[in-house]
């Protein structure tokens, strides 16, 4: 197959080299964006008088035909034509003849490939933001249904203080909301039109870049052609935001794994989102959560791969940059899949309340409330902490839980205790007294739910 760049070459490309340099196996994914960009470019060339309107028309209709060929699965990609750009250009020549050769006027594959990835990523970021929103709405609905569901909150994975499950779920929602914001911000750097930078220096032709920008709906055009063809910051930024999303999902996944064990027993995944064991018939495993946790590794790896490809790369375009695509595509596909699976897993899961009796029995969850009570009765917090510590030690010795101890016993430890202490160390009371903005009181949670319902509507 004759290559579009073969003019100065006497020998044909070595087969091994051809296979080594080809990116068509994966950049085929960009076909729709490549065609969209080429259509806009051809129309701009006609608009600027660089080619004739009739020529642009032929080019555009040829490109539309090629799009149909891709969509119906009958476009045959050739490795000898290296990448998606040359495959499409060569097919265009087959379809419309020599006028196809005018499409590449005032353009290089260097700015073309940047355009394609930016169009691709702009669309994918939009979808990922939608998936994040979907997951956030799922969490919000679950939170609204579980306000009265009290579970032990943990620090150091030790039982710490009682919290509402709704509050815990909304903590995960906050992380995802920051992710969505981060992507919106990254979008500002993605949504920039590089076409017209050509190979690196710009072009001799009197083109109208703003016209192409308008046709493709970009917010900005690039200001420096050298930067434009070699900039991959936008996809690294996206990959970093994606790594953060996976980190968040992975933390949540770890909880789902723990919670679905018989040791915790806070959640049961549906059969539809679990798998069994090939040897142990009784097993029902939280595989979706484990896979999300596991896939976080490859998304981190992709980010490191991209940073490393860019390290020490001299200006402007270098072929190294072709290595941007596989990590990027893998990250996009992985994050989308993980978000969808996580949403499905949570929508079909059942949370299992821990009976309050069980909660009371272990962990001294309201010991901090006892210390706070003593502060209100006049003790400095450090002393109150000490007295409460002694009370816990006493309970441990007597094998009692905090709510079982009598006022007489308490008063032997400190005369500050009065009978209203029992009201303060009851679990629900403890939750509701965390009545600060951002706290776990049920009133505050309801306010957060109202706010989030309003904000997530958009
Ligand atoms: N397939 C190439 C890439 O992904 C397209 C740009 C090729 N440019 C070049 N000067 N060889 O980067």
- The domain that holds 411 is classified in CATH as 1.10.40.30
Looking at the structure, do residues 384 and 289 belong to the same domain, yes or no?
A: no
Q: Is residue 19 part of a domain?
A: yes
> Are 80 and 74 contacting, i.e. CB atoms less than 8 angstroms apart?
no
pTM score, two decimals? 0.95
**d(CA 160, ligand 1 centre) in Å:** 56
Give the number of the atom of ligand 1 that is nearest the alpha carbon of residue 321.
12
Give me the pLDDT at residue 16, please: 96
Looking at the structure, do residues 144 and 293 belong to the same domain, yes or no?
A: yes
- Does residue 156 have an active-site annotation? yes
Q: Is 230 in the pocket of ligand 1 (CB under 6 A)?
A: no
Closest-CA residue, ligand 1 atom 3, reads: 322
Q: Look at residues 354, 384, 409 and tell me which one is the last residue of a structural domain.
A: 354
Q: Is residue 217 part of a domain?
A: no
- Does residue 278 have an active-site annotation? no
**d(CA 229, ligand 1 centre) in Å:** 10
Q: Does the structure show a pLDDT above 70 at 340? A: yes
Q: Is 319 in the pocket of ligand 1 (CB under 6 A)?
A: yes
User: Can you say whether residue 208 is alpha, beta or left, with left for phi > 0 and alpha for psi between -120 and 50 degrees?
Assistant: beta
Q: Does the structure show a pLDDT above 90 at 406? A: yes
Q: Does the structure show a pLDDT above 90 at 114? A: yes
pLDDT in tens, 199-227: 999 999 999 999 999 999 999 999 999 99
Selected catalytic residue, list 156, 278, 437, 458:
156
Into how many domains does the chain fold? 3
Q: Look at residues 313, 328, 354 and tell me which one is the last residue of a structural domain.
A: 354
Q: Is residue 2 part of a domain?
A: no
Give me the pLDDT at residue 2, please: 77
Give me the pLDDT at residue 143, please: 98
Looking at the structure, do residues 417 and 321 belong to the same domain, yes or no?
A: no
Contacts of 285 (CB under 8 A, 6+ apart): 274, 275, 276, 277
Looking at the structure, do residues 64 and 147 belong to the same domain, yes or no?
A: no
Q: 275: pLDDT confidence band, cut at 50, 70 and 90?
A: confident
Give me the pLDDT at residue 86, please: 97
Give me the pLDDT at residue 360, please: 84
Looking at the structure, do residues 347 and 364 belong to the same domain, yes or no?
A: no
What percentage of the chain exceeds 90 in pLDDT?
92
Give me the pLDDT at residue 309, please: 98
Q: 458: pLDDT confidence band, cut at 50, 70 and 90?
A: low
Q: Is 114 in the pocket of ligand 1 (CB under 6 A)?
A: no
| Among the listed residues 266, 191, 178, the one whose alpha carbon sits nearest the alpha carbon of residue 222 | 191
Looking at the structure, do residues 174 and 145 belong to the same domain, yes or no?
A: yes
Q: Is 83 in the pocket of ligand 1 (CB under 6 A)?
A: yes
Closest-CA residue, ligand 1 atom 10, reads: 110
Residue 380: domain span: 357-443
Mean pLDDT, residues 138-147: 98
Identify the weakest region by mean pLDDT among 77-86, 162-171, 354-363, 438-447: 354-363
Q: Is 321 in the pocket of ligand 1 (CB under 6 A)?
A: yes
The mean pLDDT of the chain is 96
pLDDT in tens, 341-390: 999 999 999 999 888 888 888 779 999 999 999 999 999 999 999 999 99
Give the CATH number of the domain where residue 25 resides: 1.10.275.10
pLDDT in tens, 6-23: 888 989 999 999 999 999
Q: Is residue 4 part of a domain?
A: no
pLDDT in tens, 32-77: 999 999 999 999 999 999 999 999 999 999 999 999 999 999 999 9
* Separation in Å, CA 315 to CA 202, 307, 398: 14, 15, 74
Give the CATH number of the domain where residue 342 resides: 1.20.200.10
What percentage of the chain exceeds 70 in pLDDT?
100
> Are 162 and 353 contacting, i.e. CB atoms less than 8 angstroms apart?
no
- Our CA angle for 437, 442, 443, nearest 5°, is 60
Q: Is residue 215 part of a domain?
A: no
Give me the pLDDT at residue 3, please: 79
Looking at the structure, do residues 142 and 274 belong to the same domain, yes or no?
A: yes
**d(CA 403, ligand 1 centre) in Å:** 71
Mean pLDDT, residues 91-110: 98
Q: Does the structure show a pLDDT above 80 at 1? A: no
**d(CA 93, ligand 1 centre) in Å:** 20
Give me the pLDDT at residue 358, please: 85
């Amino acid at each position: 197959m004759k290559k579009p760049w073969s003019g100065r070459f006497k020998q044909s490309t070595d087969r091994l080299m051809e296979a080594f340099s080809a990116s068509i196996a994966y950049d085929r994914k960009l076909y729709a964006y490549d065609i969209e960009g080429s259509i806009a470019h051809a129309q701009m060339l006609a608009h600027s008088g660089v080619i004739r309107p009739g020529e642009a028309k032929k080019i555009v209709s040829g490109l539309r035909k090629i799009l149909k060929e891709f969509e119906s699965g009958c476009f045959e990609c050739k490795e000898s034509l290296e990448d998606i750009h040359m495959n499409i250009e060569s097919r265009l020549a087959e379809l419309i003849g020599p006028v196809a050769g005018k499409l590449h006027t005032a353009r290089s594959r260097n700015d073309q490939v940047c355009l394609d990835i930016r169009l691709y990523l702009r669309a994918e970021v939009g979808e990922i933001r939608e998936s994040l929103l979907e997951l956030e709405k799922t969490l919000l609905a679950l939170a609204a249904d579980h306000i009265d569901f009290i579970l032990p909150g943990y620090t150091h994975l030790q039982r710490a203080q009682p919290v509402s499950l709704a509050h815990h779920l909304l903590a995960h929602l906050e992380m995802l909301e920051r992710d969505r914001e981060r992507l919106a911000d990254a979008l500002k750097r993605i949504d920039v039109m590089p076409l017209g930078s050509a190979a690196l220096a710009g072009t001799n032709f009197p083109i109208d870049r703003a016209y192409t920008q308008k046709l493709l709906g970009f917010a900005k055009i690039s200001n420096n052609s050298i930067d434009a063809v070699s900039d991959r910051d936008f996809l690294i930024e996206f990959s970093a935001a994606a790594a953060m999303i996976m980190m968040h999902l992975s933390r949540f996944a770890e909880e789902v794994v723990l919670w679905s064990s018989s040791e915790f027993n806070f959640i049961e995944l549906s059969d539809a989102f679990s798998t069994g064991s090939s040897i142990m018939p009784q097993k029902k495993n939280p595989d979706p959560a484990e896979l999300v946790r596991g896939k976080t590794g490859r998304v981190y790896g992709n980010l490191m791969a991209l940073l490393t490809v860019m390290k020490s790369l001299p200006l402007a375009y270098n072929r190294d940059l072709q290595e941007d695509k596989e990590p990027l595509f893998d990250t996009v596909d992985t994050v989308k899949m993980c978000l969808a699976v996580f949403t499905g897993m949570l929508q079909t899961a059942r949370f299992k309340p821990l009976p309050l009796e069980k909660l009371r029995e272990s962990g001294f969850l309201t010991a901090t409330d006892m210390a706070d009570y003593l502060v209100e009765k006049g003790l400095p917090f450090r002393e109150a902490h000490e007295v409460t510590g002694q009370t816990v030690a006493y309970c441990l010795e007597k094998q009692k839980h905090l709510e079982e101890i009598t006022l007489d016993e308490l008063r032997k430890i400190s005369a500050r205790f009065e009978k209203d202490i029992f009201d303060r160390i009851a679990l629900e009371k403890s939750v509701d007294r965390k009545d600060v903005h951002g706290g776990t009181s049920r009133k505050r949670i309801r306010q957060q739910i109202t706010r989030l319902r309003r904000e997530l509507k958009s």
